[in-house]
Amino acid sequence: MRTKKGVSVLVSYVMLVVFVLVAAIISYQWLKTYVPREKTECVEGLSVFIKDAVFNITNRKLSINASNNGRFDVAGYFIYGSNKAGDENPSTNLAGYLNKSYGENVGNAVVVSLGYNDLKTGKEWKAVFDIPSSLGEIKKIRIVPVRFEEENKRIKLVSCTNVAIKSDVTQVS
């Protein structure tokens, strides 16, 4: 008398492997729809200009006057600073130190109003940042504009790294 227990165990292992493979394929196809196929980029002709950037050593406030001198409206900007005058790529994010009366900090960006590109062409704006002493004296800044763009009926915040601008910061006391 032979029993067929070995065959049923083997069949159960094969079914388990097939089930896991099918579940993995279905999950992969579903998750693939959440990844954008092309990188969303800003429109050409976008430009911002830093009129002046002043760091007050006494009260530790960084004041920036800038304007949108491009052909399209922007929503806000990423702002990075450095305490080294020769730093060509400031990388310390300063958006978290924004004085709240000058906008909102959204995802490490300074945005004037959510969902809208409210920094219109030709419009000037001012922002003040309360810089902690742990960052030292800010001597250089880099601003990267951001826009809200619609893609596949979704509004996305897009970083315009191709038009990033840098500026030296004037020190006053």
pLDDT of 60-70, one tens digit each? 999 999 988 88
Tell me the average pLDDT across 66-81: 89
* pLDDT beyond 80 at 74: yes
- State how far the Cα of 112 lies from the Cα of 108, in Å rounded to an integer: 13
CATH class of 48-172: mainly beta
- In 10 A of CB 105, how many CB atoms? 16
Q: Quick one: pLDDT band at residue 42, thresholds 50, 70, 90?
A: confident
- State how far the Cα of 126 lies from the Cα of 99, in Å rounded to an integer: 11
Tell me the average pLDDT across 112-137: 85
pLDDT at 39: 65
Spell out the domain ranges in the chain: 48-172
pLDDT at 11: 85
Distances (CA, A) of 98 to 25, 45, 150, 153: 45, 27, 27, 31
pLDDT at 61: 93
